[in-house]
Structure 1
Amino acid sequence: MGPESDIIISSRIRLARNIEDFPFPIALTKHKSKELIQKVSSGILEGNTTLKNEFKLYELEEMPPLERQVLVETYLISSHLAEQWEKSAVLLNRDESVSIMINEEDHIRIQCLLPGLQLNEAWDLADKIDDVLEERIQYAFDEQLGYLTSCPTNVGTGIRASVMVHLPALTMTGYINRILQAAGQIGLAVRGIYGEGTEFLGNIFQISNQLTLGRNEAEIISNLKDVTLQIIQKERDARNTLLSSNPIQLEDRIYRSFGVLANARILSSQECMQLLSDLRLGIDTQIIKGISMDVVNQIMVMSQGAYLQKIAGKPLSAHERDIRRAALIREKIQKKG
């Protein structure tokens, strides 16, 4: 659990980089993609680097589809990388806080994911890895524009800073749309739990910078952090309003959700995420005691479709997944974390 973890689930820094004299991934042949994977992985794993014992290379072509989807569900790779499995790879460090995606939308995407509000710490980690690679690889760089990327919105610093936030009280009180509109007006993007084009499940939102040109990394991170701190305060104010204006109604909602999670025999992923949002709020407001937030975080990951099938050791129909999801959650909650 990191700082401000009652509201901030995680902080992420992602750096987009490309290699000079290689076409962008969309135009790469299979042969060239393999050459690029070797070039990037050797930049980390070979020679006298401080990182070579920390990382392991996984070529997605050699992984079963289910394993690839588990990596998506655990935020270690993007869905786009998984779709490009024939010519993509990922380098993961031991604690899986860092993933280096190869041949996603760009040749290299360095991602650092830390719990709570730790944008600066994630940036320090990403910057260190970027420096190691830049010593060994000639990046595509323009003196006027900065780092060149396949998407114009990433040109410049190539940085995407984001926070995953849980905002149930702002949603319940109806203020969430104002927050999202205000974020958009100051150049921030708001996306669903798995990024662009995904649903806002369980009152969880990803907030990130949209443009990387014209500002340095420190300014981009500082701007997002300042806005995030304001959102944290507004969410806490909304929680206090709910607790003071109608505590019985809030308690009833949270205990009902807890009761369903503890006893249901069938749970869809969408219903599960909403119920877990209520449970998370109940733990944060101390309405629910005896269950740790670590258990909720484990359930969030383990109740995803691919992860359930991985545990089962076989493909499952949607109905079978719903049954397994309910059983897993009952077991986790009864252990009381």
Structure 2
Amino acid sequence: MAHHVSIQACIEQLDVEIGFRATDPDAYVTFGALFDPAIKDYHKIPMNADIRHPSPSFGSVDDLDIKDLDPDGKYVISTRVRVGRNLDGFPFQSLLSDDERAKVETRLKNTFGQLQLVKEYDGEYHSLETMTEAEEKNLIETHLLFNHSNSASRSAGVYRNWPMNRGIYINKTKTFLVWISETDHTRIISMQPGGRIDQVYSRLVEGVRIIEKQLRFAHSDRLGYITFCPTNLGTTLRASVHIKIPKLAANKEVLGKLCDDYNLQVRGIDGDGTGIFGDTFDISNKRRMGLTEIQAVVEMAAGVKAIINEEENL
């Protein structure tokens, strides 16, 4: 089987941070000379032949020094933790055939029966192919559903034959989501209003465990869980808050330094590739590789707490 790397994003989108994508798990081996320097720079880890990503370790909420990021409810609007996964034995989105995408959807949908047996995760699947325009618009505006507006993903071929075999599983309380065929084969997401990172994280962990008992995902000792974009390798975990910080919004140099110090990423609240406007930001851990899942959440929590402290002191 021939392996490929997608470089179209860096040709068409000159401002993208990393413009090349893997088209299957083996691309990271075949094109290691291209990927390794980018991985080293983004995740701040050495990349040599002996590098090994830590074994998955979700730990426990007892390992979190900070369980509520914003006890007074003054700054954090919502908290979200997600992981990405790709089914073992399938190429990634830019090479996935229509038949393969249908198989990915079927296999993931088959896991939802087990989720529905647990009260907290009980919900239903919504196909993008059958939902109305109004339903789709509402789910996107409430930050539950992905869209196909990311220019780098479009350049890389992620959105071919949209919206075929794509959809979202939503639990009844809208605090647990499973996306099918957005960028990776699936994104598993836990979210809720406010800053209770302990509740959000524990819900994610148990949901991931239910799904992973039923499916085998692409993984290697060297890179951890393997994803379409090199920024998401390793734990693939992104813990984030939507946070309103008007004083720091007017002091972006101070905010930027805090984010650098705590390995945080800032972006707009409407998702990857969106602009940053006003005084409300999406802030998350930047490093996903070279540390465990619980360590990534701890790093994010410490950084958000430091940002809130700075906001109060300005």
Q: 1:207-265 CA distances to partner (integer Å, 9 max, x unpaired)?
A: 11222110111111111111111111222223xxxxxxxxxxxxxxxxxxxxxxxxxxx
Percent identity of paired positions between Structure 1 and Structure 2: 28
Tell me the matched-pair count: 236
TM-superposed deviation, 1:196: 2.2
Task: Tell me which stretches of 4 or more aligned residues in structure 1 moved more than 4 Å.
Answer: 46-49
Measure, in 1, the Cα distance between the counterparts of 2:196 and 2:121: 24
Aligned to 2:283: 207
The two structures have a TM-score, normalised by structure 1, of: 0.65
Q: 1:115-163 CA distances to partner (integer Å, 9 max, x unpaired)?
A: 2212232111111111111111011111222111111111111101111
TM-superposed deviation, 1:93: 0.3
TM-superposed deviation, 1:53: 7.0
- Paired residue type of 1:40: L
CA contact 2:115–2:207 (8 Å) conserved in 1: no
Aligned to 2:199: 121
1:92 aligns with 2:92: no
- Paired residue type of 2:252: I
Aligned to 1:108: 186
Equivalent in 232, 235, 244 of residue 308 of structure 2: 232
Residues 143-152 or 27-36, more deviating: 27-36
- Residues 71 and 51 of structure 1, relative CA distance in 2, 3 Å threshold: same
- Residues 18 and 4 of structure 1, relative CA distance in 2, 3 Å threshold: farther
Alignment of 1:34-113 (within 5 A): 34-45=102-113, 49-50=117-118, 54-80=122-148, 84-113=162-191
Aligned to 1:158: 236
CA contact 1:193–1:204 (8 Å) conserved in 2: yes
1:7 aligns with 2:75: yes
- Paired residue type of 1:182: L
- Paired residue type of 1:211: R
TM-superposed deviation, 1:86: 2.2
Aligned to 1:222: 298
- Residues 31 and 65 of structure 1, relative CA distance in 2, 3 Å threshold: farther
Equivalent in 80, 94, 106 of residue 26 of structure 1: 94
TM-superposed deviation, 1:51: 6.0
- Paired residue type of 1:68: E
Gaps of 5+ in 1: 239-337
Where 1:5 maps in the other structure, the secondary structure is: coil
Structure number having the greater helix percentage: 1
Where 2:164 maps in the other structure, the secondary structure is: helix
CA contact 2:248–2:254 (8 Å) conserved in 1: no
CA contact 1:8–1:165 (8 Å) conserved in 2: yes
- Residues 148 and 6 of structure 1, relative CA distance in 2, 3 Å threshold: same
CA contact 1:26–1:105 (8 Å) conserved in 2: no
Higher relative CO (CA 8 A, sep ≥ 6), structure 1 or 2? 2
CA contact 2:177–2:188 (8 Å) conserved in 1: yes
Measure, in 2, the Cα distance between the counterparts of 1:152 and 1:38: 26
Q: 1:251-280 CA distances to partner (integer Å, 9 max, x unpaired)?
A: xxxxxxxxxxxxxxxxxxxxxxxxxxxxxx
- Residues 81 and 38 of structure 1, relative CA distance in 2, 3 Å threshold: farther
TM-superposed deviation, 1:46: 5.2
CA contact 2:115–2:210 (8 Å) conserved in 1: no
Q: 1:9-64 CA distances to partner (integer Å, 9 max, x unpaired)?
A: 11110110111111212222222222211111111225995369712011101112
Measure, in 2, the Cα distance between the counterparts of 1:209 and 1:11: 12
- Paired residue type of 1:232: I
CA contact 2:81–2:191 (8 Å) conserved in 1: yes
- Residues 140 and 101 of structure 1, relative CA distance in 2, 3 Å threshold: same
Measure, in 1, the Cα distance between the counterparts of 2:258 and 2:235: 24
Cα-Cα RMSD: 2.4
Which structure's CA Rg is the greater one? 1
